[in-house]
Chain A
């Protein structure tokens, strides 16, 4: 039995396209789960990827059943739209499938080699590449927030090793020496639960880190023809979205990266919300609602021609404010995408909001999927440890937790544990 590995194979988003590669025995099952079918091998097929009832993306999918694949194993490639949110969402969905995890550096190569898919000449030279990659990852981990992530992972590993040392001492030496008392009691259980809870809070903060790395998402929604696309163009200061006087021009969500006083963000222009019989427009509207639900901020745009104030969280905006509009509530920002009136105030408002959410001066940890995965694995292992029905299984779970942090902070050797035991207990008859 082998793990299935997944990773972003193309460059870092945002980009026009992003390719996620999945290799291993579960690769085809993952495609089946996300796309609802496994397309014919070695051909690009258009598939809709769903996870947990949500449409993630419309993607081109190719599958290569092993051994006739680059890695020699079953392999799938998902060619996605290259927005950060899309990539993150699909990667999360893929790694949520049973038996699938993020790839380690160089892992595809090793598998390809082990399965006889690469000759030596091809492998030679890859070492430098991987070295650069792992070094940059380590540097990233170290540099992130001035080494805070490395220190955090180290500190957590220390804590896990300390509990593990007690657990192991209880297993290996309890009957040797009365000094090693039974320590695997209710107190240990509580301690482990507390550690898992604390870790959960650290992981929750990862959302902020992800926002800093991938950018905040801002969905611009509202009825057709209120000027959402004009507004997006005005904020982006370039013509990205097609603007016409015809309601329903925007069919699909369009992502436009913008900079909010140093914080990266993506404006998502969406199809106008209305009842329609046009099946294409209907899909666009469904997608607009989905994007709004997943966005960090929803800007509900209304127009002075037909002001309406939906009761939504987020920012309410009145466009075309050069036209007269009575009874505008005080918290509604008034802008005119056409004249530029009110746009500086809107930019200030967005910059304020972005800074409140991301606190750019403060350390942002766990910005990378690998780091988040390690912390999440550790949290799950600590919960297992707290609930383990017997001491040896508790130790097993603790070992996994320490290993998870070790993946960030360095390896965990058994001698680390033994050193701890010998320095704290009087062992041996």
Chain B
């Protein structure tokens, strides 16, 4: 008799999302965590979303995930980044209240009757003939045919403050030694590092000399069911490091864990410690620092941009050289953390470990950084763990559909050389993959797989019907440039009659102007009109990308056998064999994205492919 269908190890962003997705598909889920109040803990900055990351959150929401709703409920303020850069790169981002976030997460998880939170330390994985059958915990044995590991930085975690080291995944939390077990199962494990800044006492900051950064007036949210918490939005403040700050850091560089030779793992280039910034960009006169409140009822301030592994006395000294922070009191020092991660090339596109049936991995353990990246993987791993346990279809998202697909394809095909963060520039189909159309891209898929709750599916269907109706209306309304001119709209008089949908591309045809010319538009809401205008703007570019997507889909439909020994493929050079063996592409399309693979190598692979999903090839 088995106790559970799916066991999730770790209740961070990946774990919570995995538990919710598995439970949504009907699995009996055990979410195993060290402390009962762990779920929804934000271990680094008190913010969710941003450019690229915000896309992930809207995609999670479109697939029935929970991060968007929880963030909406906990937000202190929210903004839409990149407003001026074009809708494809609009990135919603919210500052959140840590306590509210945890509370909202607990409330959402409690909605799932099949989900139990188990407070225990996982001590080992239990296998039978190479297959996962459960986990050994400090509270006893738990059985399940599928286990999702979302151990974050806890796997072999070591924290560094100056020359001090301490085992642990986060301050006040113990580390896990499952890393050895994974190595023993033949999974490739290596080390990465990341860091976090000191936390400051907000009462000791001189706010009067600082510049404020407020949320956007329209208070953007992630989820159509997102609710505000009833509190007024609160701002962040902005300050800068200066020459004196940099001098202090330079003088004490040898005492930093990073530069003192205590850490040699690789950290992310885009989330550098302040030591890194001073060393690599020493010529800058200063770096911007955001002072982010950690909650409505919290005196703690997160100084975003000051991640460091210098000893406490140096942290104190350089932080106090910054404007507004001259008298600041440090509540908790910053630190660097080294941790184990598994080379994600050992995983399938469904985030299952190829070598260990029943084992799934999601989040930082796969070499990523960021709450949103972790949550998105959690959703995929959780949905597929449930699929394995219950005999349901897998959730596979490809790079033409979503940022989630881009990330997983990048991870499983290229591996990671530094912690992986989502950027919009990683998505070659960026114009299609927008935050504003995440539900159109993914909700039908999520619904088909039983991931999307009925209310969300119904709201989406109603919205799509309305969208269809409006789209038809926009196509049926036409005007010549002459007719527009008679309404005072100046466009080039080329005599070409166009539909309103086409006219929306022209800057002169503003929405107000369009409503003046065509009173019928009264039945179309402002939001919907704006969204259709985005479609109109990108229509020509998207048509071109569709051609690329079709080509990719064709190659994705040609599957390579799972155990193919590339060395036996006639006509492959030694170099090609090496590259392919490392990346283990599952389709001809994936093979074509392995760096350095030639057309001739792809042709050589052709005889070994078999067609799958013929409807994809159409």
Contact = CB atoms under 8 A, between A and B. Distances in A.
Interface of A: 1-3, 104-106, 109-110, 113-114, 116, 120, 123-124, 126-128, 130-131, 134-135, 168, 170-179, 389-393, 395-396, 399, 411, 413-414, 417-418, 421-422, 426-429
B269 A105 contact: no
B607 A396 contact: no
A1 B550 contact: yes
Contacts of A127: 570-571, 600-601, 603-604, 606
Contacts of A417: 425
A312 to B, nearest CB: 40
A131 B603 CA distance: 9
A89 B602 CA distance: 32
A427 B269 contact: yes
Interface in B72-98: 81-82, 84-89, 91
Query: Interface size bucket, B side?
Result: 35 or more
B88 A418 contact: no
A172 B304 contact: no
A224 B280 CA distance: 79
A175 B602 contact: no
A173 B81 CA distance: 10
Contacts of A414: 425-426, 428
Contacts of B596: 411
Contact of A2 (B52, B547, B606, B607): B547
Interface of B: 45, 50-52, 81-82, 84-89, 91, 268-272, 277, 280-281, 284, 287-290, 304-305, 423-426, 428, 430-431, 507, 537, 541, 543, 546-547, 550-551, 554-555, 557-558, 570-571, 595-596, 598-604, 606-607, 611, 617
Contacts of B82: 171, 174-175
Contacts of B270: 173, 422, 427-428
- Scoring B88, B601, B602 by chain A CB atoms within 10 A of each residue's CB, the highest score goes to B88
B268 A106 contact: no
B603 A126 contact: yes
Contact of A3 (B269, B551, B617): B551
B599 A396 contact: no
Given A131-B600, A427-B269, A171 B277 contact: no
A124 B572 CA distance: 12
B425 A130 contact: no
Contact of B571 (A104, A131, A175): A131
Given A114-B617, A131-B571, A104 B599 contact: yes
A172 B424 contact: yes
A396 to B, nearest CB: 6
A291 B85 CA distance: 51
B269 A396 contact: no
Nearest to A390: B86
A79 B428 CA distance: 39
A106 B281 contact: no
A83 to B, nearest CB: 30
Contacts of B606: 109-110, 113, 120, 123, 126-127
A256 B555 CA distance: 46
B51 A134 contact: no
B284 A426 contact: yes
Nearest to B596: A411
Given A120-B607, A171-B424, A426 B280 contact: yes
Given A124-B570, A175-B51, A1 B543 contact: yes
B85 A390 contact: yes
A393 B540 CA distance: 11
